A and B are shown apart, each in its own frame.
Chain A
Amino acid sequence: MRRPRPRTLGIVCVCLVLLVAGVVAGVRWARGWTGTVTVLANWSGGEREQFERAVRRFEEEQRIDVVYQGSSALSQVLAADVAAGTQPDVAVLPGPGELMAYAAEGRLQPLDGLFEAGDYDRVWVPKVAGEDGRQGTYWLPIKTGLKSMVWHAGDLPKDEMSEATDIADITEIAGEPGRWCVAMESGATSGWPGTDWVEDILLQQAGPQVYERWATGDLSWTDDRVRKAWETWGDLVGAGDGERVERMLEDAYDQDCSRQRLEHQGSFRGTAWKLVDGDFVHSAEVIPGARPDSDHWEVSGDLAAMLNATEEARKLIRFLADPGTGLPDFTANKKAASPDSDEDPMKRKIGTILHGSEQKLCWDASDTMPPALRNAFHQAVLHFLVSPDELEDQLRGLEALRDGRGPTLPVCGG
């Protein structure tokens, strides 16, 4: 066999070097991001991990880096970003109140055409007016939550006939202020667990029509029914009780609650209560003065809006609206897997209420209010816990902030 000539060897070596360099460059290019999309939301801890897990497939398939920031000061951060013109591409806000204001100012990009709005009940994806007054879709529900729930440990005595937890026992426990877990600390939004209480009591005592009028600014804060809701809450949790109130104010909203106590919190607490075989009842069962036919649930939703109409942001919205995307609990997409198929009975129960009771769902009222009023509501709740006798001053202060025009979106389904 002839030995190759040195020149041939040289050419082969050069070709090999070029090939290796090409492969290395190709692999680096393929591994790199082709774009970035910034997302601002208020999730931290487990909720953040769930979201990041959900978008990992998007990052891998699209080679788009999802840069996430979560903060309880979401509202303040977003307001500053928008004012400075450095808004994130996508913001996920809890509730539609603030988003409606941004849409009316022309800060949000319409999502029409990016996903099928008919895949969601109207309460989750209503058409709202943009800057030009034209109705459009401006947000996509990423996850929804059920409220109006009273959590309890599952080992309370059961009714012999129905095998359900004996409501009389829960009502009895609920009558003792010391048996409630009440915790107000939540960073910039400290006080929101208290606003949830007041809203829910009003919903269960006065019904959805009154609730909707109040949420949309059509009912005075000094109305007797509103005042009664505050007073009922004060009696239930023991407002004004020095040391206990101090603890309530400083305890974090997501801290553990003893199994001997009750907790008025949303479905996000399911994971914690599941550890003690916990269960929940409708809050109307334990709220004094609730209407006998009260069957409405307060709900919350994390809504994604697009602030910069980049191609990456559009792709992310399309991905999040895909029924096959494994989003954190609970999706509002009717085409997603039915909650009946969930192996976890608790999730199945909550999912079924969220999916099957559109007529009985009402937005968390403070999430539909203008930000200034909502923040004042948070503050008023903290004041009320310390000095319930000054309720009238608090209500007058809130009334001064009421904007009669109100949002035009539906607060309750149906």
Chain B
Amino acid sequence: MSTTGRDLTRRLGLLLALGAAATLVLFVAYRGVHDDTVPLASSSTPGILAVDTAKNALQQAHRVVDGSGPTGDTTGDTTGEFHTQISVAHQSIAVAASENVTGPADRHTLQTVTGLITVYSAWVERAGQEPKAVLRGAYLHYAEQGRNDILDRLDDLRNEQLEVARGQASFPWPLWLGWGAALVLGLALCAALVEAQWFSRRRFHHAVHPPLLAATVLCAAGVAVLGWFTVRAHRAMGDSLAELRETRGADEIPEAGANVERYLADAGFWASLSEWVLFGGVLLMTLTLVGLWPRISEYRFRVPR
């Protein structure tokens, strides 16, 4: 009695189960990495660099105050540099707040910093209008204390933002596990498809079974391409993180931003492929079904009674 029908049915079941499992695991593992590339590029990086810009602007503003001679105020600042830098600081804080890297705590800190910058510039301006040297000195002292407070808060905020970016660029053990499982399932699926091809070839004397061959190529190419994109994305995130690790000077910030933009230029494309994983999985299973079902049908009515 021939067992071909039963063998084919078993193979089809196994291939469909492996196909579904590999698709789901690959989808989750892929998203696990690529879901973080876009936020790193579009939110964390601008947020961190905006905080750096605000810090630099405040330091530059205070240099104007320090450099204005023994009076130590902004009355000698004929270029308006002090106010320009305060304006830059305010705008950068607004950008950092809109990026909302660390959630409500982030916004809350930045709102407080905005108020502190206002107080800081008020002390400096008061010093500029004060004719008595002792009071002028005291006001500038208060301004300096305020500036130190602001910089400390921005440092703390930056560390928290960097921690978020680190989390986004990391490859923790669940991802290793996911990608390990995806590779094992992908290999197992390819091997099972090749074996089904061999089996079909032996029993039905066909040189090649096109749908099964297409499914095998799709599986191998899909896993390889997605794996390659993931390696590239992980490397790009690592490079981006290296750009953000240290606080940048005012001149270096645009360059750092451009570098991160370059590293993660394809992040949107990589991330958009995740939906295609599911589509590819369905296609692969359809090809498997199309390849084996007609043969199984031939045996459906030959089952011994």
**In the complex, which residue of chain B has the Cβ closest to the Cβ of A75?**
B115
Confirm or deny: A80 has a beta carbon within 8 angstroms of a beta carbon on chain B: yes
Within the complex, the shortest CB–CB distance from B249 to chain A, in Å, comes to 27
Report the contact-size class of chain B (Cβ under 8 Å from the partner).
20 to 34
Q: Which of A66-74, A112-120, A261-269 contacts B (4 or more CB under 8 A)?
A: A66-74
Asked if B118 contacts A69 (CB within 8 A), the reply is: no
Most A Cβ at <10 Å: residue of B105, B116, B134: B134
Alpha-carbon distance A245/B108, docked complex (angstroms):
37
> How distant is A109 from chain B, measured CB to nearest CB, in Å?
19
Residues of B within 8 A of A71 (CB): 112, 115-116, 149
| In-complex Cβ contact of B134 among A36, A76, A242 (8 A) | A242
What residue in chain A is nearest B111 (Cβ atoms)?
A81
- Counting chain B CB atoms within 10 Å of each CB, the highest count among A69, A184, A242, A383 belongs to A69
Interface-located stretch among A158-166, A185-193, A403-411? A185-193
Residues of B contacting A67 in the complex (Cβ-Cβ under 8 angstroms): 104-105, 108
Q: How far is the CB of B9 from chain A (nearest CB, A)?
A: 14
Which A residues lie within 8 Å of B201 (CB)? none
> Is A38 an interface residue when CB atoms closer than 8 A count as contact?
yes
| Any A CB within 8 A of the CB of B132 | yes
Q: Contact string, A56-85, partner B, CB cutoff 8 A, digits 1/0?
A: 000000000101010111001111110010
* B 44-102 contacts with A by CB, 8 A: none
Residues of A with C-beta under 8 A to B118? 73, 76, 80
Cα-based distance from A81 to B104 in the complex (angstroms):
14
The smallest C-beta distance from B148 to any residue of chain A, in angstroms, reads 10
Contact A249 B135 (CB under 8 A): yes
Kindly list chain B residues whose C-beta atoms are within 8 Å of the C-beta of A222: none
Q: Are A187 and B119 in contact (CB under 8 A)?
A: yes
Contact between chains at A188 and B119 (CB < 8 Å): yes
CA gap between A77 and B112 in the complex, in Å: 6
CA A233 to CA B13, docked complex, whole Å: 94
In the complex, whether A277 has a CB less than 8 A from a CB of chain B is no
Q: How many residues of A contact B (CB 8 A)?
A: 32
Contact B146 A38 (CB under 8 A): no
Interface window among B136-144, B265-273, B291-299: B136-144
Contact flag A88-B108 (CB < 8 Å), given A71-B116, A185-B145, A188-B119? yes
- Residue of B105, B115, B116 with highest tally of chain A CB at under 10 A: B115
Q: In the complex, what residue of chain B is closest to A190 when comparing beta carbons?
A: B142
The residue on B at minimum CB distance from A246 is: B134
* In the complex, B114 has a CB within 8 A of chain A: yes
Q: Which residues of B contact A246 (CB under 8 A)?
A: 134, 137-138
Tell me whether A317 is interfacial, beta carbon within 8 Å: no
Considering the chains assembled together, what is the distance between the CA atoms of A226 and B112 in angstroms? 36
Q: Residue on B with the closest CB to A243?
A: B134
The reply to whether the CB of B107 lies closer than 8 angstroms to some CB of chain A is yes
Complex contact A40–B132 (CB within 8 A): no
A387 at the interface (CB under 8 A from B): yes
Contact of B146 among A78, A187, A249, A250 (CB under 8 A): A187
Contact B141 A187 (CB under 8 A): no
Cβ of A249 and Cβ of B107 under 8 Å apart?
no
B190 to chain A, nearest CB (A): 21
Interface contact B111-A80, CB-CB below 8 Å: yes
Q: Which residues of B lie under 8 Å from residue A250 when comparing CB positions?
A: 137-138, 141
Residue B274 at the chain A interface, CB threshold 8 Å: no
Are B134 and A187 in contact, CB atoms less than 8 angstroms apart? no
Inter-chain contacts of A81 with B (CB < 8 A): 111, 115
B286 within 8 A of A: no
- A93 at interface by CB-CB < 8 Å: no
User: Which of A40, A77, A80, A86: most chain B Cβ within 10 A?
Assistant: A77
B141 to chain A: which residues have CB within 8 Å? 185, 249-250
Q: Determine whether A386 belongs to the interface, using a CB cutoff of 8 Å to chain B.
A: yes
User: Which residues 121-158 in B have Cβ within 8 Å of A in the complex?
Assistant: 132, 134-135, 137-138, 141-142, 145-146, 149
Known: A80-B114, A246-B137, A386-B134; 6 extra A-B contacts, CB below 8 A, are: A36-B104, A67-B104, A71-B149, A73-B146, A80-B115, A387-B132
23 contacts between A and B (CB under 8 A): A36-B103, A67-B105, A69-B109, A69-B111, A71-B116, A71-B149, A72-B149, A73-B116, A73-B118, A73-B146, A76-B119, A77-B111, A77-B112, A80-B118, A81-B115, A86-B111, A185-B138, A185-B142, A187-B145, A190-B142, A246-B138, A249-B135, A250-B137
